[in-house]
Structure 1
Amino acid sequence: MSSDKRVNVMAREKFSQIYARAAERKGGEGVLESMLATPLSADQLKQIGDDRWLAAFTQKVFQSGISWQVVRNKWPNFEDVFFGFDIEKMLLMPTEMWERKATDPAIIRHLAKVMTIPDNAQMIHEAALEHGSFSAMVADWPQDDITGLWRYLKKHGKRLGGNTGPYTLRIMGKDTFILSGDVEAYLRQSGIIDGGRDTQKSLAAAQSAFRDWQQESGRPQCQISQIIAFSGGDNRV
């Protein structure tokens, strides 16, 4: 069989087959189901304060290239140093104050990452002016265009491209798939994407595939993404 024909066969794989393979690798359906995320409803998302979004974005920015646990251990200090990530206070702080805070030994000292805080506070503030709150914008964003929300974060925020924005959305409860290494590998092996991961073409193709799998399975995109990751790669029991 030619390589093109093998790609076409994989592309037609049913989600039920992907699920069965993931369950077998993880030790059964019960174990697999216990590992899956559950997204929040739109109403639940709208209850999240915009300061919590800024905190979450900041934590994920700092975790990029640094041990996640080190950042978690320091996080109470971040909350204190940055006034609980209150949006209005963040927007009022002058540059010299940001520079001083970036040298505070209570946090992880990294000026470039600290300076994402006012930029992302501005993004959140502008979205709140238009939608009532940043949470409302996220909650009402069409589920079949989740990659559009990724692009919004990358364009209007600071250091929220790649998987930083999507991972933050997932952590906060917005239903989104993630183009992790295992998921990207599956999409490439299936012939769904074949160019740069973050190109418009690849993102549109990935979004279309997840839309189809969601219609087939009735599952949220975050669970589909996890099941695909668990179905291959280096994550056996």
Structure 2
Amino acid sequence: MDNLVQTAESFQQIYQRACDRKGGATALEALLGQSATAADIAAIPDNLLLGELTKKVFQSGFVWRVVRQKWPGFCEVFFDFDIEKMLLMSDEMLEAKARDERIIRNAAKVFTIRHNAMMIDDIARKHGSFARFLADWPVSDITGLWAYLKKHGARLGGNTGPYALRAIGKDTFILSDDVEAYLRATNVFDGGVSSKRSLQQIQQQFNLWQQQSGRSMQQLSQIIALSVGENVVGMQR
């Protein structure tokens, strides 16, 4: 990591360093993603959201490319993740599907599909749809949504939940290795990265940077990641 002052920097300081490292503002901006609108997220069918949660569960600790290659098989085996059909699956049915060669055969992860379908169904009964629930959750407390998914879902802790949210367009920062290292080096937090206190401190800092910049949480974490680590333009690896 580059030499950093041992205190949280302003967004402008971080942005300027990222520009310097990536070859200018135009080059940096081309690397940044865009989050979806709340209306777009609210319109996503809940079965597609279950599919995205499942994809990220299977990608966790595994080769993402292999999961993507096998994804059509997952959709066939699990009926395009129809919520009602997933709720009706017995343990025996799930065990049988966990042996299907069209998917990645991991029984523990296969069982998360029914569990997460139950979470989605419960939320949909209270909020109209899981998609609406996600769309309405305030970005200023995005770590609270992470905690909710971890508590009520299956295998959605760590970065799995945040990556799933990012995939469906919900604005969220990601605590990648570079982002976590930066936040620790600048004393934004000093405990375990997944502790409630640390996540509150990290959220507060991102909220401040958002107020300073008007940027989405997604772009803020991308800019931080691009401002540190070994991703300098022209670097010899």
- For the aligned pair, the TM-score class normalised by the smaller chain equals over 0.9
Instruction: Report deviation, 1:234.
Output: 2.0
Cα deviation, residue 212, structure 1: 0.2
Who is 1:56 aligned against? Answer: 52
Equivalent residue pairs, number: 229
Q: How does 1:11-160 map to 2 (within 5 A)?
A: 11=8, 13-160=9-156
CA RMSD of aligned residues (A): 0.8
Matched residue, 1:3 = none
User: How many angstroms apart in 2 are the aligned matches of 1:15 and 1:196?
Assistant: 24
3-state DSSP of counterpart to 1:115: helix
Q: List gaps (5 residues or longer) in structure 1.
A: 1-5
CA deviation map 1:62-83 (0-9, x unaligned) = 1112110011000000000000
Q: Percent identity?
A: 59
Normalising by the residue count of structure 1, what TM-score does the alignment of the two structures yield? 0.95
SS in 2 for 1:178: coil
Asked if 1:210 corresponds to 2:206, the answer is yes
Q: Does 1:193 align with 2:215?
A: no
Unmatched segments (≥5 aa) in structure 2:
none
Distance 2:54 2:153 in 1: 11
Q: Which residue of 1 aligns with 2:230?
A: 234
State the AA in 2 paired with 1:222.
Q
TM-score (norm 2): 0.95
Deviations 1:88-107 (A, max 9, x none): 10001111110000000111
The one-letter amino acid paired with 1:175 is D
